[in-house]
């Protein structure tokens, strides 16, 4: 363990008081050019860096941001985690901050306790939340405590806090419109339960697009369940058993896992995905492009979201932007079109393109 260098040592070596060294380093005072040079030289020679702990004790700030997230089950990896984290780390580091990551606890009491601990011990200056739901206990707690935070995702409309969210409705609308353009008319949806805020936002785009095309989807087309492979498989199987007249020729799915399950079900039923039945996903899971056929999916601008969340939080912490109205900032996803959503009629099959957001 290397020896620690303090202000006092730099001061001794350059022959001034340690307070003067501090001021020179922070550019808070003008001293004789010669003195300044001596100080900087001592700093260089000793390789001095201000002790972060002492600095934050004095400043009453930790220059640290807390972040915790719900882990994905092992058989269903979070496709955006790595990018999201790195984008935040970069944005934070550029402004002298770091992220303190802490474990997720499924028990609500225990979870709030984690946040409280980090707040009360002054270990972090603010939090980033993700996966926000209706009446999210973390949101309610932090609002009540008036502790700074930003969120990836919205909650109840009446809860006002700084947040950024993907316009999931727009994403699903792009997917649905794309299928309509391919000639599909009977388009089903594999969705989450109605208590899912994210799910409801996304479904709006489905309804909007169908409505604009003069189509009213019957209840049977809306399959709701857990967003996993198994549910996708079951739901698609049910859809394929509907009577000919209302059997869908396309399915939009609220995430890629359901889509992969649906693809499998279609194939097991002896049909060809992309020819007889079109399927779209959501998230653009990395491996989705390597499936057979490659999966059409909606991609979120994850890096941008991470960067902007951090910028938003730091602006609040540094009070450059204190009491603005906290509207949710919506960012637009893009549709990545691959073979799973082509049809015989369309002619294109192996073509691959990206339909950008407006």
Chain positions contacting a copy of itself, by CB under 8 A: 1-2, 4-5, 47, 49-54, 56-57, 60, 62, 64, 68, 71-72, 74-79, 81-83, 85-86, 89-90, 93, 98-104, 114, 117-123, 145-148, 229, 257, 260-261, 264, 267, 285-287, 289-292
By a kind-dependent CB cut-off of 5 to 8 A, residue 17 interacts, out of a copy of itself, DNA, none, with DNA
Q: Exposed, middle or buried: residue 126 (CB in 10 Å: 0-12, 13-18, 19+)?
A: buried
Distance (Å, rounded) from C-alpha 235 to C-alpha 219? 13
Whole-angstrom distance between the N-terminal and C-terminal Cα of the chain?
54
By a kind-dependent CB cut-off of 5 to 8 A, residue 23 interacts, out of a copy of itself, DNA, none, with DNA
The residues binding DNA (CB under 7 A) are 4-8, 15-20, 22-23, 25-26, 28-32, 35-36, 48-51, 54-55, 57-60
Tell me whether residue 177 or residue 284 sits nearer to a copy of itself (CB atom).
284
Tell me whether residue 55 or residue 351 sits nearer to DNA (CB atom).
55
CB of 46: closest distance to DNA in angstroms? 10
SS3 of residue 199 by DSSP:
helix
- Alpha carbons within 13 angstroms on the beta-carbon side of residue 250 total 28
CB of 17: closest distance to DNA in angstroms? 4
Distance (Å, rounded) from C-alpha 27 to C-alpha 330? 40
DSSP string, 56-95: HHHHT---EEEE--PPPPTTS--TTHHHHHHHHHHHHHHT
Give the residue carrying structure tokens 């001293």: 31
By a kind-dependent CB cut-off of 5 to 8 A, residue 35 interacts, out of a copy of itself, DNA, none, with DNA
| Tokens of residue 45, six digits | 């020679």
CB of 123: closest distance to DNA in angstroms? 12
Tell me whether residue 84 or residue 221 sits nearer to a copy of itself (CB atom).
84
């Amino acid at each position: 363990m290397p020896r620690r260098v303090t202000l006092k040592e730099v001061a001794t070596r350059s022959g001034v008081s340690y307070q003067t060294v501090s001021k020179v380093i922070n550019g808070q005072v003008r001293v004789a050019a010669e003195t300044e040079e001596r100080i900087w030289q001592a700093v260089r020679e000793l390789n001095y860096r201000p002790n972060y702990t002492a600095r934050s004790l004095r400043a009453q700030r930790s220059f640290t941001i807390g972040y915790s997230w719900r882990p994905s089950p092992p058989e269903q990896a979070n496709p955006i985690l790595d990018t999201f984290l790195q984008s935040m780390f970069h944005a934070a580091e550029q402004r002298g901050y770091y992220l303190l990551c802490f474990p997720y606890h499924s028990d609500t009491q225990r979870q709030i306790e984690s946040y409280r601990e980090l707040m009360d011990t002054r270990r972090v200056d603010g939090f980033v939340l993700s996966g926000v739901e209706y009446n999210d206990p973390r949101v309610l707690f932090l609002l009540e405590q008036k502790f700074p935070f930003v969120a990836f995702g919205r909650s109840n409309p009446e809860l006002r806090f700084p947040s950024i969210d993907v316009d999931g409705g727009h994403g699903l609308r792009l997917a649905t419109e794309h299928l309509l353009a391919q000639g599909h008319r009977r388009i089903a949806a594999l969705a989450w339960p109605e208590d899912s805020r994210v799910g409801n936002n996304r479904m709006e785009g489905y309804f909007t697009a169908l409505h604009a095309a003069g189509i009213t989807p019957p209840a049977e087309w809306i399959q709701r369940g857990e967003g996993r492979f198994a549910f996708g498989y079951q739901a698609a199987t049910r859809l394929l058993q509907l009577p000919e007249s209302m059997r869908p020729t396309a399915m939009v799915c609220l995430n890629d896992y359901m889509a992969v399950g649906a693809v499998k079900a279609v194939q097991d039923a002896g049909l060809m995905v992309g020819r007889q039945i079109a399927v779209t996903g959501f998230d653009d899971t990395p491996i989705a492009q390597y499936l057979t056929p490659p999966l059409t999916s909606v991609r979120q601008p994850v890096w941008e979201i991470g960067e902007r969340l951090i910028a938003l939080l730091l602006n609040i912490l540094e009070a450059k932007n204190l009491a603005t109205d906290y509207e949710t900032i919506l960012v637009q996803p893009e549709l990545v079109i691959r073979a799973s959503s082509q049809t015989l009629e369309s002619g294109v099959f192996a073509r691959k393109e990206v339909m950008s957001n407006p």
